[in-house]
Amino acid sequence: GRIVKGTSKTREKLGVIEELFTYWNLDDADETLEELEDALIMSDFGPRTAFKIVDGIRDKVLAGQLKTGDQIRAELKQSIAALLAERGGSAELALPDSKPAVLLIVGVNGGGKTTTIGKLAHRFGAEGGAKVVLGAGDTFRAAAAEQLEEWARRAGADIVRADSDKARPDTVLYQAVDAAVRGGADLVLCDTSGRLHTNWSLMDELAKCKRSIAKRLDGAPHEVLLVLDGTTGLNMLNQAKEFNETVQLTGIILTKLDGTARGGAVVSVVDELGVPVKFVGVGEGVQDLQPFQPATFVDALFP
Ligand code: GDP
């Protein structure tokens, strides 16, 4: 359709959708619904998810239940929020009754993994009173352990780091869980490498880490959370699929929503993988982590 050409930023593209609502043409509902579908695809929702959402709206338009642009706008928001809740499931962390709970945190470098671990440590440790252990499983990036150590200090958490240059990530995480079990800790947050590099398989390494954690503690890790950069667009779907195949994700943390990013692509990630967003990152500070709420997220998409 004519409306999808020429814009590149998600925000502008979503602006196009706003225009559609304003000038909604019920005389040619088919054409307008197609334009809505195109606009959603161009706004990083992905074809499958856009099709699904618009199909539901089309049914109601044809049944005469939706008549104005405002009604369709409300229905669009409501159906995206419902999809996030129904396909994703609970945004609560699924933690075991016995301790420690172990969270494995994965994601590509730069997405905000380390920062997110710091925020989680603060939330459950400094604020929640839990005894937290951080496992510095990113042994490949020199500064990673130092950065994590700084967060541990701020959050009052313990940290288990590599004891030599040659220490392997799966060994470090085994030791972190071991220390938590022996020390009666409540929560272990396992950092991992996110280095994308040829001749080295990040995915093999992560699979090893997961097995190593399970070897030390039956049933662990209890959550495998993928940190996604909210500014990355539909690219995040491919990332999420790849991580999901290897380590079976149980949730997503969407970062950097404090900037211009709206993270619309995460709707397709939730839809296609069937895993929920559990938290959103809204800044670089220790407090800048919020439980995910579909309605709030959709309000930010279509303010
Ligand atoms: P990692 O490589 O995945 O561990 O990523 P880092 O945790 O080191 O974060 C990469 C950069 O993103 C750092 O400059 C962080 O301060 C920043 N960052 C992380 N989360 C957020 C967020 O929610 N909002 C903003 N604005 N910046 C973030």
pLDDT tens digit sequence for 198-240? 656 899 999 999 999 999 999 999 999 999 999 888 889 999 9
* Least confident stretch, 5-9, 147-151, 172-176, 219-223: 5-9
Residue bearing the CA closest to ligand 1, atom 28? 284
In this prediction, residue 28 carries a pLDDT of: 78
In this prediction, residue 12 carries a pLDDT of: 62
In this prediction, residue 2 carries a pLDDT of: 34
**Residue of 104, 106, 115 best suited for mutating to test ligand 1, as the one with most atoms within 8 Å of CB:** 115
Separation of CA 112 from chain center: 11
247: phi then psi, degrees, rounded to nearest 5: -120, 10
In this prediction, residue 3 carries a pLDDT of: 34
Span 135-154, average pLDDT: 92
In this prediction, residue 177 carries a pLDDT of: 98
In one-letter notation, the amino acid at residue 93 is L
> What CA–CA distances, in Å, run from 230 to 70, 140, 143, 258?
27, 24, 23, 9
In this prediction, residue 1 carries a pLDDT of: 31
Only one residue has tokens 């500014």, namely 231
* Least confident stretch, 106-115, 280-289, 293-302: 293-302
* Least confident stretch, 19-23, 164-168, 210-214, 268-272: 19-23
Rounded to the nearest angstrom, the distance between the alpha carbon of 82 and the centre of ligand 1 is: 29
Which ligand 1 atom is the nearest neighbour of the CA of 283? 24
In this prediction, residue 199 carries a pLDDT of: 59
**Residue of 228, 284, 289 best suited for mutating to test ligand 1, as the one with most atoms within 8 Å of CB:** 284
* Least confident stretch, 17-26, 27-36, 199-208, 243-252: 17-26
In this prediction, residue 5 carries a pLDDT of: 33
Beta carbons within 8 Å of 210's beta carbon, 6+ residues apart: 104, 221, 224, 247
Is the pLDDT at 106 greater than 80, yes or no? yes
Q: Decide: pTM greater than 0.80.
A: yes
Ligand 1 surroundings by CB, under 6 angstroms: 107, 109-115, 194, 255-256, 258-259, 281-284, 288
Residue 189 and residue 180 in contact, taking contact as beta carbons nearer than 8 Å: no
Q: In what order do the strands lie in the sheet containing 223-229?
A: 158-160, 132-137, 187-192, 101-106, 223-229, 251-255, 277-281, 289-291
Separation of CA 269 from chain center: 9
Rounded to the nearest angstrom, the distance between the alpha carbon of 179 and the centre of ligand 1 is: 27
Rounded to the nearest angstrom, the distance between the alpha carbon of 293 and the centre of ligand 1 is: 21
- Please give the Cα distance from 249 to 31 (Å, whole number): 38
Q: Would you place residue 26 in the very low, low, confident or very high pLDDT band (cuts 50, 70, 90)? A: low
In this prediction, residue 297 carries a pLDDT of: 92
Helices 69-88, 294-301: inter-axial angle, 10-degree rounding: 140
- Please give the Cα distance from 288 to 106 (Å, whole number): 19
Beta carbons within 8 Å of 289's beta carbon, 6+ residues apart: 116, 119, 120, 123, 253, 279, 280, 281, 282
Residue bearing the CA closest to ligand 1, atom 6? 112
Per the model's pLDDT, the better-predicted residue between 132 and 41 turns out to be 132
Is the pLDDT at 293 greater than 50, yes or no? yes
In this prediction, residue 7 carries a pLDDT of: 30
Span 246-250, average pLDDT: 96
Mean pLDDT of the residues in the chain: 90
- Please give the Cα distance from 56 to 188 (Å, whole number): 42
- Please give the Cα distance from 189 to 8 (Å, whole number): 37
Asked if ipTM goes beyond 0.95, one says yes
Span 19-35, average pLDDT: 79
Is the pLDDT at 42 greater than 60, yes or no? yes
